[in-house]
Amino acid sequence: MAGYSSRRRALAPHTGPQPAGGEREGPAQWEGEKRPDARADRSDIHQGDWVERLLPKRLRPYARLARLDRPIGTWLLMFPGWWGISLASPLWPDAILLLLFAIGAVAMRGAGCTLNDIADRDYDGQVARTRMRPLPSGAVSVRQAVVFLLLQLTIGAVVLSSLNLTTILLGAAVLGLIGTYPFMKRITYWPQVFLGLNFNWGALIGWTAVTGALAWPPLLLYVGGVFWTVGYDTIYAHQDKEDDIRIGVKSSAIALGVHTRPWVFVFYGAALLMWGVAGHAAGIGAMYWVGLAAAAAQLAWQAARLATEDPADCLHKFRSNRAVGWLLLAGIVAGHFV
C-alpha cells in the first residue's frame, strides 16, 4: 500500500477459474479501460538518487528498506498526528510534540515497510517494480532486515515512552494492526481500510498527547482519515493492478475497476464530512472551514482528473495528498485564532 510498500503480493498464486485469455479479473471488469503494461520496467529503485549520492554503500539498502528515498508515506502517516495535536492545543501546537511525532512517523513508517518487504520477499523478485529492492536483490539478508526492523521499532518505542500513559497505551494498541496489515491484501479486496486504520491512529494519540484523554473530535478526525486513506490508496493501487491480478493479490483498485472515480468522490466526501463534524465538535473558528474548503477543492481535483489507466497520473494524484495534509493542518491552527 501507499504507506508501507508500493507493491501488493500474495503468498500463493491464484488458482481459481480464469476467463478466456488467461487473465483473472476482479469484481469489476476493465471494459473500456486501457491496461498498463505489466512487463514494463517500472522499478521503484531510482539509480543516481540522493541515497546513492550521499550515503555510504553499506547504508543504502537500509535507507531503501525504510523508504527514506520516498518520503510521501511518512508525510501521510505524520499528518493525522499533527492534526490531533493541533486540534487539541489551545493556540499554537507544541513544537516538541510535533518533532516527536515526526521522528515517530519516520521510524514507524520505515518499520512497516521493512515488515512488508520481509513478508513479501519471495514474490518481490518476480515483479519488475520490486525486484531491485534490498531483499530480493540480495543487498541485505532476512536476518539483517529483522534486526533493522527491531531498531526502528525501538526508536518508535522510545518516542512513545516520552508521552503520557494514555498515549502510551493507545500507541501499544496499534501494534496489532501494524503486524496484521501486510497480510490483509491476501484475504480481502479492501486492505486499504486496514491501512487507513493504521495510518490515521496518530489522530487519536496526537490528541491524547495533549489532553490525556480521548474525546469525540479526535475520533471523528480519525474516521475521516480512514476514508481519506481508502481514497488515496485506491488511486495508488491502480499503478500495480495488472501485476496484482496476475499474481492473485486483492486491492480496492481491482474491486472497483472502472468505477473507481465515483467511489473516490464518495471516500473523499465522507472524509470531508467527518473532518467537518470534528471541527464543529471541537468548537474551532472560521478559518478552519477555509482550510477544509481548500482541502475539498484539492480532493475534488484529484477525483475529477484521475486517469486510472495511467500509472504516472495515479502516482502524481497520490503524492498530491501532501497538500491536503498541509491545508487541513493550516486550517486547524488558524481556526484557533479566527
pTM: 0.86
Q: Does some domain include residue 171?
A: yes
pLDDT value of position 94: 97
Q: Which has more confidence, 166 or 244?
A: 166
> In this structure, is residue 21 part of a structural domain?
no
> What single-letter amino acid sits at 192?
Q
DSSP-derived secondary structure for 21-85 = TSPPP-SS--TT-PPP-TTS---S--TTSHHHHHS-GGGHHHHHHTTTT-THHHHHHHHHHHHHH
Q: Using H for helix, E for strand and C for coil, what is the string for 98-121?
A: HHHHHHHHHHHHHHHHHHHHHHCH
Tell me whether residue 126 is in a domain.
yes
Averaged confidence pLDDT in the chain: 87
> Which of 24-28, 57-61, 77-81, 225-229 has the lowest average pLDDT?
24-28
pLDDT computed for residue 4 by the predictor? 54
The total of other beta-carbon atoms located within 10 Å of residue 21's CB is 6
Q: Per-residue pLDDT tens for 173-206?
A: 998 888 888 889 889 999 999 999 999 999 999 9
- In the predicted model, what is the mean pLDDT of residues 212-238? 98
Instruction: Classify residue 102: in a domain, yes or no.
Output: yes
- What are the CA-CA distances from residue 183 to residues 1, 188, 334 (Å)? 11, 9, 40
CATH of the domain at 86: 1.10.357.140
Q: Which of 282, 149, 296, 128 is nearest to 210 (CA)?
A: 282
Contacts of 235 (CB under 8 A, 6+ apart): 253, 260, 264, 302, 306, 308, 314, 317, 318
> Residue 207 in contact with residue 88, Cβ under 8 Å?
yes
| Number of domain units in the chain | 1
CA 336 to mean position of chain CA atoms: 28
Cα–Cα distance between 187 and 183 in angstroms, integer?
A: 7
Q: For 258, which DSSP code?
A: G
37, part of any domain: no
Does residue 317 form part of some domain?
yes
| 229 band by pLDDT with thresholds 50, 70 and 90 | very high
Rounded average pLDDT over 26-42: 42
Range of the domain at 151: 50-335
Query: What's the confidence (pLDDT) of residue 182?
Result: 83
Q: Per-residue pLDDT for 34 more than 70?
A: no
Residue 258 placed within a domain: yes
* DSSP 8-state secondary structure symbol assigned to residue 262: H
Q: What is the pLDDT of residues 247-299, one digit of tens each?
A: 888 999 999 999 999 999 999 999 999 999 999 999 999 999 999 999 999 99
Tell me if 185 is assigned to some domain. yes
Average pLDDT over residues 20-47: 45
How far apart CA 110 and CA 5 sit, in angstroms, is 10
